[in-house]
Copies of this chain bind each other. A is one copy, B any other.
Amino acid sequence: MQYFPDAHRNLDIAEINRAVESAFADHGRALVQMPPKMYVTLPTGDFRTMPAYLPSLSIAGVKVVNVHPDNPKKGLPTVMALTIILDIATGQPTAILNATRLTNLRTGAAGAIAAKYLSPKKDVVIGLIGTGQQARAQVMAIAQELRLREVRVWSRNPVNAESFAAGLHMPECHSVSIEQACDCDLLVTTTPSRSPIVKSEWIHEGTHINAIGADAPGKEELDPHILKRSTVFVDDPVQAVHSGEVNVPITTGVFTRDEIAGTLGEVVIGMKRRRSPEEITVFDSTGLAIQDLAIAKIAMQHGTSIDLSFP
């Protein structure tokens, strides 16, 4: 059994995007096994358990990932993760990966694939709501798929937005007001908000929105009226209803499960699509275990590991 302590090193973002795109295609064709992720609540956070089997890559395993918002005060990441990989033929654990940074990378890749298929154009103004690690992962992955003509960055704390914009080392990257950030072709929201921060009147026709932040019951970033105006795609319906951007509006009855237009997998295989340049589209990302397996496969090919005795 191998342990990969730095599984995120030396990875090519374009290669990750392609692997995650392929995993979504398998998902769209119902070729994967993936029970919905399970949540266990701890006193100051939670952890999620995500098993899956992706036959096309001959890979099976489980990611275990926590969310503890107070961790940065303790010098630890909010989100940490391990992925266990099992041999398909024998069930034997063959690898354990430190998946902490892989988690951002694979979520970035899902956002990039959503943007590739649902963005109204290939040459875009991108707006960012939130400036954490996930915002950076989204921009880096999307930049492989689309040309980013301008990056408009908003954070509740303007210092964070300035610092994030400077750190991107991209031309035309600015800290702006939230209204200005929302005036874009491609909006990416990555905050842990528990009440809508993006107002419907700020979103013009033709925008695509990657709603990344909501990943637990009670979380939401978008005015539910935006969902009513939009064609809403999710990564997985069961997970999205439980903990995605649509979870609160569905609980309150503002939005219904039947209004979900389809999955990103269905978009990737051409079953579903953006129907006009004026349509507003939303990708509601909760994170799929198959994304974790797809990136683990690449990380094991490129990474260095130490040997652990087992069984």
Contact = CB atoms under 8 A, between A and B. Distances in A.
A77 B311 contact: yes
Contacts of A5: 308-310
Given A3-B3, A308-B3, A311-B80, A66 B43 contact: no
A149 to B, nearest CB: 36
A62 interface: yes
Classify chain A's interface size. Answer: 35 or more
A71 B90 contact: yes
A90 B64 contact: no
A91 B62 contact: no
Contacts of A200: none
Interface string A29-49: 000010100111111111101
A112 interface: no
Contacts of A80: 90-93, 310-311
Contacts of A49: 35, 38, 49, 51, 62
* Chief secondary structure at chain A's binding surface: strand
A252 to B, nearest CB: 25
Contacts of A96: 82, 96
A42 B32 CA distance: 11
Interface in A70-112: 71, 74, 76-77, 80, 82, 84, 86, 88-93, 96, 98, 100
Nearest to A32: B40
A67 to B, nearest CB: 7
Contact of A51 (B33, B40, B308): B40
Contacts of A51: 38, 40, 47, 49, 64
B76 A64 contact: no
A264 interface: no
Interface string A17-33: 00000000000000001
B64 A84 contact: yes
A299 interface: no
A100 B52 contact: no
A154 interface: no
A89 B43 CA distance: 7
Contacts of A164: none
Which among A39, A43, A82, A309 has the greatest number of chain B C-beta atoms within 10 A?
Answer: A82
Ordered nearest first, which 8 A-B pairs have the shortest CB separation?
A66-B91, A49-B51, A35-B38, A68-B91, A5-B309, A100-B311, A80-B311, A40-B53
Interface of A: 3, 5, 33, 35, 38-47, 49, 51-53, 60, 62, 64, 66-68, 71, 74, 76-77, 80, 82, 84, 86, 88-93, 96, 98, 100, 306, 308-311
